[in-house]
Amino acid sequence: MTRRWLSADAWFDFLANVPESQHAGMMLLSDYATPDGNHFSAYGCHTFRWVNDKGEAVFVKVRWCVAS
Higher pLDDT, 27 or 56: 56
Q: Looking at residue 37, what is its pLDDT?
A: 62
- Domain limits of the chain? 8-64
Confidence class of residue 58 from pLDDT cuts 50, 70 and 90? Answer: very high
The pLDDT tens digits for 42-55 are 767 788 999 999 99
The pLDDT tens digits for 33-42 are 666 666 666 7
Residue 10 has pLDDT above 90, yes or no: no
- Describe the crossing of helices 8-17 and 19-28 by its angle, rounded to 10 degrees: 120
The residues near 65 (Cβ < 8 Å, ≥ 6 apart) are 41
Measured distance CA(46)–CA(54) in Å, rounded: 24
pTM: 0.37
